Amino acid sequence: MRNQSTLQVDLSGVAQNCRAIRSHIGSQCKFCAVVKADGYGLGALRLGSTLADYADMLAVYSADEAGALLTAGIRKDILVLAPVYAVDRFHPLYRGMMGGTVHLVIHGEDQLRSVLQMASRFGSVIRVQVKVDTGLRRGGDRKDGGWGRKVGRGCRGSRKKKKIVCFQFVRDGVVRTCPRSESCCESLGLKSSH
């Protein structure tokens, strides 16, 4: 007889934890629940449907993970953590991007140019967040040409070591930003408008 280990996930416990987190952080702070790697092996679709009731956004690693959530009918903003350079119009990610529910994380200037080209080609806004690396990384400091630090210096008043900045790209190459992100656009040499 073989011993088998099983793991049971109590979704009501997950919901209770989400209510506790929301109570602790308050209504002014956004809550992003990470469900990458199939919800860390616990089932991204099952966890995602519960977490969507409490979180402002769900984060996944890849375009395919985002596509699985979208195909399953989960209606919540989704953040794709891995760099995305192109999207096929038949992939569920495309519909999510065009519907404004999918946000891409920008990791560098090459990807930024690719996303601007996609926005122009699709004739649509693509919601993105910029990853700013100030050197505190699990694997040490990566040589990225200083792009992350350049953006970080442009984020005036930031006391955090890592910062995510929200941009919205439009087809004419103008970046529409929230007011506090204007200095980040300027540090990248991009035009911005509110």
Asked if pLDDT for residue 156 goes beyond 60, the answer is no
Give tens-digit pLDDT for 18-52: 899 888 888 888 888 999 988 888 888 988 999 99
Q: How many CA atoms lie within 13 A of 71 on its CB side?
A: 11
Are 131 and 109 in contact by the 8 Å Cβ rule? The answer is: no
Q: Are residues 159 and 128 in the same domain?
A: yes
Q: Tell me the pTM.
A: 0.72
Residue 87 in any domain: the answer is: no
Q: Are residues 106 and 156 in the same domain?
A: yes
Asked if pLDDT for residue 160 goes beyond 60, the answer is no
Q: Are residues 63 and 104 in the same domain?
A: no
Q: Are residues 98 and 192 in the same domain?
A: yes
Q: How confident is the model at residue 136 (pLDDT cuts 50, 70, 90)?
A: low
Asked if pLDDT for residue 145 goes beyond 70, the answer is no
Q: Are residues 139 and 178 in the same domain?
A: yes
Tally of domains in the chain: 2
What span, in angstroms and rounded, lies between the C-alpha atoms of 87 and 66?
12
In this predicted structure, what is the pLDDT of residue 154?
43
Print the domain residue range for 38. Answer: 24-82
Q: Are residues 75 and 52 in the same domain?
A: yes
Give tens-digit pLDDT for 72-103: 999 899 999 999 999 999 999 999 999 999 99
Q: Are residues 78 and 105 in the same domain?
A: no
Q: Are residues 108 and 169 in the same domain?
A: yes
In this predicted structure, what is the pLDDT of residue 159?
39
Are 165 and 151 in contact by the 8 Å Cβ rule? The answer is: yes
Asked if pLDDT for residue 138 goes beyond 80, the answer is no
Give tens-digit pLDDT for 163-184: 344 444 333 444 444 444 555 5
Percent of the chain whose pLDDT exceeds 90: 36
Residue 43 in any domain: the answer is: yes
> Which DSSP string do the residues of 35-72 spell out, in sequence order?
-HHHHHTT-HHHHHHHHTTT-SEEEESSHHHHHHHHHT
Residue 44 in any domain: the answer is: yes
Residue 166: both structure tokens together: 């929200």
Residue 88 in any domain: the answer is: no
Q: Are residues 53 and 145 in the same domain?
A: no
Q: Are residues 103 and 149 in the same domain?
A: yes
What span, in angstroms and rounded, lies between the C-alpha atoms of 158 and 145?
21
Instruction: Give residues with Cβ within 8 angstroms of 47, minimum separation 6.
Output: 9, 11, 14, 33, 35, 39
